[in-house]
Amino acid sequence: MDSEDDTRDSADEDFYSGGEAGLALSDDGDADYDFADRDSDDSDDLISHRQQQNYSVLSETDIKQHQADDMNRVSTVLSISKSEACALLRSYNWSVSKVHDEWFVDEARVRTAVGLPEKQNEMPNERELTCGICFESCPRESMGAASCGHPFCGVCWRGYISTAINDGPGCLMLRCPDPSCSAAVGQDMVNLFASDEDKGKYERYLCRSYIEDNRKTKWCPAPGCEYAVEFVVGSGSYDVSCGCSYGFCWNCTEEAHRPVDCSTVSKWILKNSAESENMNWILANSKPCPKCKRPIEKNQGCMHITCTPPCKFEFCWLCLGPWSDHGERTGGFYACNRYEAARQEGAFDDSERRREMAKNSLERYTHYYERWAANQSSRQKALGDLQSLQNDKLEKLSDIQSQPESQLKFIIEAWLQAGIEVDLRIWLLPSRP
């Protein structure tokens, strides 16, 4: 799915470079926060737009049913087994239309690429066959082969399949053990030879593959949630509300953030988590020692600064010159005329401008972060209350009112509506005056 932000130009400018993109600073020292100047008058339209269901939430049972339906469709249309249909769908990211298109354009090429021989080959019709792995002679009844017909004993098949399954999801693309053969080993062979534990692992890999390889589906990003979401590609709104009550953006899988675009949210989250704000603070509230360059914060006292050991360099906080050069001729120990003179000559313009810009940026960031964090806290409280309502209070209210819980679901819906408004407040921050 193409992102709605693909057409947006993004520039990774330095915070103080004066750039126009992202969270960079403009020439007047104010940061160009895209999230700051939003018009909140559209909130009613946004809420009603979010209520338009353009997605469906899938449980594990739903996923398996969708998967089985897709395999049945491909199997019926192409007149192949369900195991072969499963191999085709996995190879084409579970896109039924893509499978049909490629198959009818060049069936031979698709069969070769996926590992589906055009003709089902049987094992040699002999009472005893030699296993191609252990080279033991075994009765034909204890041997097995994929669609290519290469015979291997049950013990070797079991070990081969078990090793592949325990190695990870790559077992879904398993091929014949014969080095010269590329025939696919499907779920039918797994069910025939694998242990119950390995079968369970294989089914879980297959289930996850249906979601993770399919461009129309994604797992809910909430911790511990096992729901997936099937989305109508091309819909206007990317807001999704999972069955676990977690709201997220389909496009970037961050928390739901309309009306702010995904690019701005990405920059905001990066700004909250990166070390850049520490550097901002250091730049805005400290100066480097002229000798060892270690940053020093001055929060009280006179202008006489002594660096920490082992440096121990003594200097003036104002002009950063050696303290030994200061005295009556510089205006006294507590007033540095050298700094004023140098400042008038423009010696400190760049460093002072940079420090002032850092302070402005830090103040602006703090202003918006406090409001964003407060709304986030309110949202977490609302979700906790909703969970308590669903688990405990709704049942008690049903007993008190003598009504079935199904008749009280409107309370949950009203609570979720309030949650949508909280989500909007999180991102519709007030403009800086």
Q: Which two tokens stand for residue 315?
A: 């200097």
Please choose, from the candidates 357, 355, 366, the residue with its C-alpha nearest in 3D space to the C-alpha of residue 432: 366
- Give the separation between CA 241 and CA 415, rounded to whole angstroms: 13
Q: Which two tokens stand for residue 362?
A: 């830090």
Please answer whether residues 32 and 24 qualify as being in contact, where contact means their C-beta atoms are separated by less than 8 angstroms: yes
Please choose, from the candidates 199, 229, 227, the residue with its C-alpha nearest in 3D space to the C-alpha of residue 214: 229
Q: Which residues are catalytic?
A: 302
- Give the separation between CA 195 and CA 184, rounded to whole angstroms: 20
Please choose, from the candidates 375, 361, 356, 362, the residue with its C-alpha nearest in 3D space to the C-alpha of residue 430: 375
Please choose, from the candidates 74, 90, 87, the residue with its C-alpha nearest in 3D space to the C-alpha of residue 115: 87
Reported as type and span, the H/E element at residue 281 is helix 276-285
- Give the separation between CA 36 and CA 30, rounded to whole angstroms: 11
What's 389's DSSP letter? I
State the pairing for strand pair 128-130/314-316: unpaired
Give residues with Cβ within 8 angstroms of 35, minimum separation 6.
Answer: 260, 264, 268, 368, 427, 429
Please answer whether residues 182 and 152 qualify as being in contact, where contact means their C-beta atoms are separated by less than 8 angstroms: no
- Give the separation between CA 304 and CA 178, rounded to whole angstroms: 81
- Give the separation between CA 97 and CA 74, rounded to whole angstroms: 9
Q: Which two tokens stand for residue 134?
A: 């252990």
